[in-house]
Chains A and B, each alone.
Chain A
Amino acid sequence: MSLLAIENLSLSIHGLPILKEVSMGVAPGRILGVIGESGSGKSITAFSVLHLLPNGTDCTGRITLNGNDILSLSERDLCGLRGREVGMVFQEPMTALNPLKTIGAQVAETILIHEKVSKSEAMARAAEALRRAELPQDRFPLSRYPHELSGGQRQRVVIAMAIALKPKLLIADEPTTALDVTTQAQILDLLKRLVAEDGMGLMLISHDLAVVADLADDLVIMKDGEVVESGPAKSLFANMQHPYSKALLEASSHVPLRTGEAVEVPLLEVREVVRDYTGHSHGWWGKTTHFRAVDQVSFSIRKGESLGLVGESGCGKSTLTRAILGLEEVQRGEILFDGLPVFTHHHANAAVRRRMQVVFQDPYGSFNPRWKVGRLVTEPFHLLEEPPRGREREKAIAEALESVGMRAADADKYIHEFSGGQRQRIAIARALIIRPDLIILDEAVSALDVSVRAQVLDLLADLSGRFGLTYLFISHDLSVVRSITDRVLVMKAGRIVEEGPTATVFDHPKDPYTQQLVAAAPVLPADAA
């Protein structure tokens, strides 16, 4: 018998249809993977199981959880089910915990809400739940606050909270999307272990096919509020039927066709660069500690080359990027662009600066919302001594927008009128408008859905061929780096630990850290078709 059965669930919010006739089920001890891109309705399906829905929501259909008809239960009965029968793990571990309460109190709360036990007993059981989530008491006492933990550790606290009462169903909504690859692998292993130990059912929601493929017994693929395909994971991957599923699979492993050759002339040379930050002092008269963000880093990029830089958060990637862009001076070493120093007399060298541009990760936060697109894409003009004016300026805007597949008329629109993928195209247009030689792509496709990501990668490949661009591609996503770069640098704790042609490094990693990274990266099953 199925633990959770969702049958023909349709849902609308203030009359706007969100889900259409969605059906799926989770059996005890099994893992159901729910896959879809943003807006596919996968999260709202999960929330409807807990009936934690926004005001104005209208549901029809049936949700049965362990014999309870969820849609007909009173709020009081639902509160009794939430946390006890169903545990939930969320996407963003940084904000999922109350910053003002200790982790012990927050885990114990799940127990205290549902059972009449003393506070000390609840704390003892909270300690046990945290231990099971691999946060042992000797290193992570109950008195810790969330801000004293890393993202991965916080996610373990959220998991401990969700499993404290050994619920029958665990719902994990993109539990690892915000985490580094190695942390992601650990959290997925933990979830898998807990499911096996407790015989729980797990509903694992993700946009990432590879993440789910490793874990799930059954799969559901959703698009625009509908289930397009479902079935046992093994057979589904081997034999996809629906065009959308196929497109999703293709996009996940998409390798853009690249033209253009790198020439043997270095464009950017980074030589033994060191960047220290001053840390906290110990007391008033104590020694101030230094934190070395970038440690003796040397590498070069040839003209027309696409170089990848991979590493986990905090490894120094961003500091290095800022140094290359001349936004931050380094303490030692030098950075040369086409033979010219990036920094001269403690100032960024304008002649060099106008030949590099950057595209950032967040397509929402990196534009001024009150400016029109035309003004946004011409921002880099301030780097030029004589920026084009009048008709010439209009022409430059139109060319930049058209080269990224937008229309010249889009210049008169505001940024909120565009989707995430379109915004990232506009960000690339902004980088292109002054015809730079080097574009630094700082996690530029990480926030995009897989199908949009594939399109943007194609665009980048096409542009590098057309304009002879050189890319420095910074990402934590190994599959993306693999698909678009010629060479790759692996960075850890401020140092480059391995460097070489991308395929060689990923297929035969030499450094233990690279081996760990490659092993942790989720992969699609080989027989997927």
Chain B
Amino acid sequence: MLHYFLKRLISLGLSLVAASVVIFLALEVVPGDPASYMLGLNAQEDTLNALRQELGLNGTILERYVSWAGGLLTGDFGTSYTYRTPVAGMIGDRLWVSLPLALYALILSTLIAFPAGIWAAARRGTAADATVMGVTQLGVAIPNFWFAMLMVLVFAINLRWFSAGGFPGWDAGFFVAMKALTLPAIALALPQASILTRVMRSSLLDTLNEDFIRTARAKGLTKGQALWRHAVRNALIPVLTILGLQFSFLLAGAIIIENVFFLPGLGRLVFQSISARDLIVVESIVMLLVFAVILVNFAVDMAYAWVDPRLRRRR
């Protein structure tokens, strides 16, 4: 197990280094000068030079990479060109909205999908199964911003249970902040939950056809016991894979939902920085997201090993 853990950890480190090189080179090899791209066509030569200096475009490619990567390691992500504030601070503030939102949505999606998927699989071919399949089909098909607007209309405007948008900050208290994240989290979770339910169902149906389920039934287990004791854990591997992919997506992919609910999250920051051609911010966020994805993959790998003893080798 330790061997597996260390191996994954080394692979995690190597992936991070490789990702940072790729992101750095991407900006290096794209044709044109990043400084003139950021400032537009009518920029003055001395402004361009100043920006080049700031972007660290002067010096050899290796020097530039080392100073950029070194900055990342020490938490110095540079200064945003448009906002004139340290990028690290900007990202930090946004992360405190996006990360809890993503986790919240992920937990909701899991809480919906696991029972729904298991329930449908256990009742394969019945009306219950057909209903779950129908509802999840809708959940996958309908865009999440439409859910979001519908929920604002019902729960914020008509019922007045929630505010229609905005984020009061964590200083306002944990529950107040969580309440503000609730509608967005539901809107994000519903399509994800629909996908996850279907994955859970089909994976479980495959597992229920396995020989060892028949063995369990021959031992005297009821259908339900065989399902809970033998099938569910065996069905988890594909579900964990999808769960990992969904978390990475939720972290950065919430742009539209953040806009609907006026949330100051990472998605909006990316959107704004791209519009403002603020490459320093974009580059840092991309690096951060890549880091998050790699970290999530690491967590998923660990979860695989927790589920499946065949992956924990003896040594």
| Interface residue ranges, A against B (CB under 8 Å) | 50, 52, 55, 75-76, 79-84, 86-88, 90, 92, 95-101, 109-110, 113-114, 145, 147, 158, 161-162, 282-283
Contact = CB atoms under 8 A, between A and B. Distances in A.
Given A95-B211, A158-B215, A282-B315, A82 B307 contact: no
Nearest to A145: B309
Given A80-B220, A95-B210, A113-B225, A90 B307 contact: no
Given A95-B211, A95-B212, A283-B315, A100 B218 contact: no
Interface of B: 3, 125, 210-212, 214-222, 225, 229-230, 233-234, 307-310, 315
Contacts of A147: 309-310
Contact of B215 (A76, A80, A161): A161
Contact of A97 (B215, B217, B218): B215
B220 A99 contact: no
A97 B221 contact: no
Nearest to B234: A100
A527 B255 CA distance: 83
B107 to A, nearest CB: 24
A79 B222 contact: yes
B221 A113 contact: yes
B222 A83 contact: no
Contacts of A161: 215, 219
A86 B125 CA distance: 30
A79 B221 contact: yes
27 contacts: A55-B125, A75-B222, A76-B222, A79-B221, A80-B220, A82-B218, A82-B220, A86-B218, A87-B218, A88-B218, A95-B211, A95-B212, A98-B216, A98-B234, A99-B308, A99-B310, A100-B233, A100-B307, A100-B309, A101-B230, A109-B219, A109-B221, A109-B229, A110-B219, A110-B220, A114-B220, A145-B309
A267 to B, nearest CB: 43
Contacts of B308: 99-100
B211 A90 contact: yes
A439 B280 CA distance: 66
Contacts of A86: 218
Contacts of A282: 315
Given A100-B233, A147-B310, A52 B214 contact: yes
Contacts of B211: 90, 92, 95-96
B212 A82 contact: no
Given A95-B211, A98-B230, A100-B234, A82 B309 contact: no
Contact of B217 (A52, A76, A114): A52
Contacts of A87: 218
A55 B222 CA distance: 15
Nearest to A87: B218
Nearest to B207: A98
A97 B225 CA distance: 16
A271 B125 CA distance: 60
B314 to A, nearest CB: 8
Given A82-B217, A95-B210, A100-B233, A145 B310 contact: yes
A100 B207 CA distance: 12
Given A83-B218, A109-B229, 6 more contacts: A82-B217, A96-B212, A100-B309, A109-B219, A110-B219, A283-B315
A99 B219 contact: no
Given A99-B309, A99-B310, A90 B219 contact: no
A100 B221 CA distance: 17
A422 to B, nearest CB: 27
Given A95-B210, A100-B308, A100-B309, A90 B220 contact: no
A80 B221 CA distance: 9
Instruction: Give the interface centre of A110, A114, A282 by most chain B CB atoms within 10 Å.
Output: A110
